[in-house]
Amino acid sequence: MREALEKIRSEALAAIAAAQESAALESLRVRYSGKKGELTGILKMMGKLSAEERPKMGQLANDVRTALEAAFTARAAELADRALAAQLKSEAVDVTVPAAPISVGHQHPLTIVINEVCTIFEAMGFETVEGPEVEYDYYNFEALNTPPNHPARDTQDTFYFSDNMLLRTQTSSVQVRTMEHRKPPIRVIAPGRVYRSDAVDATHSPLFHQIEGLLVDEGVTMADLKGALDVFAKGMFGARTATRFRPHHFPFTEPSAEMDVSCFACGGEGCRLCKGEGWIEILGCGMVHPNVLRGCSIDPEKYSGFAFGLGVERVALLRYKIDDMRLVYENDERFLRQF
């Protein structure tokens, strides 16, 4: 009997080790350890043994069973690992094959700039509003301290529909519209299209975009104007951007200024972008002219405010190094997809 058990052990272990598939292994389990298997068959003969032999043989039979079960489990795990490895190997992909595209559209560069500017001012408490593009002369000029035949009108060649209706030449018209129906505190920013009769070339377009800003309240100072625009410049062009304010003239602000920012290409050292100046002119601004306030029934003795206007195309062209404004309105997809 001992021989029989040892024989089963050695035969079964060899067969388990040789099994190559889990199905074959399973049939070995049935053959050796199953209810009708060889080991069970031998154990059935235990009754014929002497009382002395029986525990010894019982012990041996148990050892064999344990050994076979361990071998089955181990081999099963091995075969499962091997099968998984084979499956994973067969499922391998070529990671360099290009993916089927998921096409996400692009926003126009002008929109990107407008959004950035508005977002910065919104964070400073400005509300973004808009006004009509076809405008009365009154809102575009007269209420902005630029009466008919004022020489300042020469600098803005205007498209007219009739004597008193035109395409606005500046978003400043929104200042007046805002102050007419709101009373201080006022804090608005107004992006939009403006029009001037300039023939199309690399730096001119009869249509372009401006962003107007206006803050009117009690005790607003020119220092506040500088502060707000300095925050804007740092938000727009980077935290290390410096600003420079130069006196200038606009009919609807007094004092007036132009703001330069330190060149965002060279940081102020002087380069091609800034024409060696180190500064780039970005916007016009000033303290709202008392005549404009009065025209909107806001008392300049009590209130003061500042306003500014920024050319969007100029910022977009400089920032993205676009050398021809026509590209912006040609809308070639190869251009649009770069933004």
Counting contacts by CB under 8 A, is residue 245 touching another protein?
A: yes
Counting contacts by CB under 8 A, is residue 137 touching another protein?
A: no
Contact with another protein (CB under 8 A) among 89, 155, 181, 321 = 155
Counting contacts by CB under 8 A, is residue 136 touching another protein?
A: yes
Handedness of CA 294, 220, 217, 237 (dihedral sign): positive
Counting contacts by CB under 8 A, is residue 151 touching another protein?
A: yes
Q: Give residues 212-241 in contact with another protein (rule: CB under 8 A).
A: 215, 217, 219-224, 226-228, 230-231
For residue 180, the one-letter residue type is: E
Counting contacts by CB under 8 A, is residue 251 touching another protein?
A: yes
Q: Which residues contact 73 (CB under 8 A, 6 or more apart)?
A: none
The label of the residue with tokens 């993916």 reads: 99
Min CB(245)–another protein separation in Å: 4
Contact 186, 214 (CB under 8 A): yes
Counting contacts by CB under 8 A, is residue 128 touching another protein?
A: yes
Q: Give residues 58-97 in contact with another protein (rule: CB under 8 A).
A: none
Strands 160-162 and 134-136: what pairing?
unpaired
DSSP-derived 3-state class of residue 225:
helix
Counting contacts by CB under 8 A, is residue 160 touching another protein?
A: yes
Q: Which residues contact 72 (CB under 8 A, 6 or more apart)?
A: 16, 25, 28, 29, 33
Taking residues 168 to 207 in sequence order and writing x for each that binds another protein by CB under 8 A, - otherwise, the string is -----------------x-x---x-x-x-x-xx-----xx
**5 membership: H or E segment, kind and range:** helix 2-18
| Nearer Cβ to another protein (34/255) | 255
Using CA atoms, how far apart are residues 122 and 115, in angstroms rounded to an integer? Answer: 10
Counting contacts by CB under 8 A, is residue 156 touching another protein?
A: no
| Nearer Cβ to another protein (76/336) | 336
Min CB(241)–another protein separation in Å: 13
Q: Which range binds another protein by CB under 8 A, 11-19, 43-51, 161-169, 267-275?
A: 161-169
Q: Give residues 296-335 in contact with another protein (rule: CB under 8 A).
A: 300, 304, 328-334
Contact with another protein (CB under 8 A) among 15, 287, 298, 315 = 287
List C-alpha distances in Å: 88 to 77, 98, 186.
Answer: 16, 21, 66
Min CB(269)–another protein separation in Å: 17
List C-alpha distances in Å: 229 to 117, 167, 208, 306.
Answer: 11, 28, 22, 10
Counting contacts by CB under 8 A, is residue 98 touching another protein?
A: no
List C-alpha distances in Å: 185 to 60, 286, 301.
Answer: 99, 18, 15
